[in-house]
Structures are given as C-alpha cells and as structure tokens.
Amino acid sequence: MRVLTEQQIASTVEALATRASVDLPEDVEKALCRSRDEESSPRASYALNMMVDNARIARQENLPLCQDTGIFHLFIELGKEVALPPAFQEAANQGLRAATEKVPLRSSVVDDPLFSRGNRGDNTPVLIHVEEGGPKGKARLTVMAKGGGSENATRLFMLLPGDGVSGLKDMVLATIREKAADACPPVVVGVGVGADAGGALELALRSLLRPVGSRNQRGEMAELEVELLQSINRLGIGAAGLGGDVTALGVHVEEAPTHIACLPVGIVLCCHSLRRRTAEV
C-alpha cells in the first residue's frame, strides 16, 4: 500500500490552484470560441469576444481569470493500493495558502458566515471530495475554483417520483430563467438526479469536471442533456445576460440510485470561467 505524503498533496494543490486560477482549460475556451463564432446577436458576440480575450490575457500575464477567485474544491480519486495521509486536509490547505500568496489571489472566504464574517485571508479551507477511481497505485487530484455568483444559483428540488423527466426539465428551466443572468453566462449546467439531497448536489457538482459538451454514456441521459441545452439556449438570456443564442455552453446530467419515495434533483451552475485543473500523483 502506497500512502501519499503531505508534501505531495500540498505541492500538487498549490500547482493546480495556481494554474486553474490563471489558465482557462482548453475545452472551456474552445466552447467560448465556438459560441462567439456562432452567435447572431452583436452585443452577445461582443461579450463573448471579451471573455475569450480575458482568457488569453490572464494566461499571458499570469493574472487571475476573475476578481472573484472563488471557493476551492479538491476532488481526490484514489486508485487501488494508494491511501491518503492522516493530515491530508491541512496539507491541501497549506497548498492553497501558498497559491493564494503566490499568484496572488483575492481571499474570498470568510470565517464566520453569520456574525463577524471576518475574511480568513488565505482562501482555506479547501472543500475535499474523495472517491475511488484513480489509476492503480496513484491518485487523481482535481482542483476547481467556483465563484460566489454561480454558487448562489445552486438549487435543490425534492421532487416526487411521479414528477419524472418533465418535472426535472421544468426545474432546470426555472432555475435558468431565475438565476442564469446572475451567474455570468454562458454557464455550464450540472444536474444531479438521485441519491439523497446532498448526494444530488454532489453529482451535479462533479458533472462540471467532465469536458464541456461531453455526453453521458447512457443514451437516454445523453438525449436529455441535448434537449435541455437546446431548451436553455432558446430562452434568449445570452452571454452576460445581454440576450442572444448561447446561454449555456453545456449541460451535464449525472444519476445515482435513490429511495423509492424520492426524486432529488440538484442543479449547479458554473460561470463561463470554469476553472479546474487535474494531475496524477
């Protein structure tokens, strides 16, 4: 059994958080470029062009892609015969502190959510998600930074089984109508269906790790993703909420078993600056 060291986790998180903050992933940038080239609205096309230029300048100048540097998630996929050290949370926090100082990044995390709301100054703690799935003897680490605007658009609906597919579609479109313009569109829409309340939101969040525009391997789910994307883009909210053809770059739906009496639907939006980076350790 191989046990990752705290230093490996800290250094990897520092590198991934740094790069994710200044270098938009290729799949996201390509989706923005396609949207810009296909957009028929001059105002929306102008906004999309600014988003593409922003990504280029951030990469060239090593500057944060957005002033809202976000709250940081760390997804850990453990392969067979590999384990985490006891202090992996603090190791991840150490890496994020270093990245915050190095770039530098604005600190976006407050300590006390209800009363003093004092800024922590270092963006910690990292929100950690652990599951199986990395290559044998290794771990796959993905850092994702998620801004507050899109985070505030998160929705959870505890539907009844009889609400079915049509109920899910209605809730997704209602969320987009209500919140997409506040989430810096064009957005990437993550939908989780099944599990329990928390699990549905976790599924939706994890779906954002998929390449933008990829499809669920199950045929029915892939068709649902395409239908939802088309319906969302017909709403005409457009880039930056200015009206236009492209409100969403992609829709990703993930599912899990659930209780016979339940149909949980979690919806997580991410802004056009979908910041994530992955490495194997």
Tokens coding 274:
């979908």
Q: Which residues contact 237 (CB under 8 A, 6 or more apart)?
A: 176, 177, 180, 181, 185, 243, 244, 247
Helix (H) / strand (E) element for 256: namely: strand 248-258
CATH fold for domain 149-274: 60s Ribosomal Protein L30; Chain: A; (3.30.1330)
β-pairing, 187-195 vs 248-258, is parallel
37, pLDDT greater than 90: yes
Band the pLDDT of 134: cuts 50, 70, 90.
confident
Q: Would you kindly state where each structural domain of the chain is located, as residue ranges?
A: 2-22+65-146, 149-274
pLDDT tens digit string along 101-115?
A: 999 999 999 999 999
Predicted confidence (pLDDT) per residue in 203-213, tens digit: 999 999 999 99
Whether residue 41 has pLDDT greater than 90: yes
Whether the CB-CB separation of 157 and 171 falls below 8 Å is answered with: yes
Tell me the H-state helices in the chain. 6-22, 26-38, 42-61, 88-102, 148-151, 164-179, 197-207, 219-233
**pLDDT by residue (tens digit) across 267-276?**
999 999 999 9
Percent of all residues in the chain with a pLDDT value above 70, rounded to a whole number: 100
Q: Is the model's pLDDT at 4 over the cut of 90?
A: yes
Q: Give per-residue pLDDT as tens, 187-206.
A: 999 999 999 999 999 999 99
- Asked if 248 and 241 touch (Cβ cutoff 8 Å), the reply is no
CA–CA separation, 71 and 123 (whole Å) = 7
Across 106-127, average pLDDT: 96
DSSP one-letter string for 126-194: PEEEEEE-SPTT-EEEEEEEE-HHHHTT-EEEEE-GGGHHHHHHHHHHHHHHHHGGGS-SSEEEEEEEE
Residue 220 has pLDDT above 90, yes or no: yes
pLDDT at 76 over 90: yes
Dihedral sign of CA atoms 64, 206, 71, 187 in order: positive
Over residues 251-263, the mean pLDDT reads 98
Q: What is the pLDDT of residues 138-171, one digit of tens each?
A: 999 999 999 999 999 999 999 999 999 999 999 9
Q: Rounded to the nearest 10 degrees, what angle do helices 164-179 and 219-233 cross at? A: 40
Confidence class for position 1, pLDDT limits 50, 70, 90: confident
Q: What is the mean pLDDT of the chain?
A: 97
Higher-confidence position of 1 and 248: 248
Site of tokens 């739906």: 253
| 186: preceding bond cis by omega (within 30 degrees) | yes
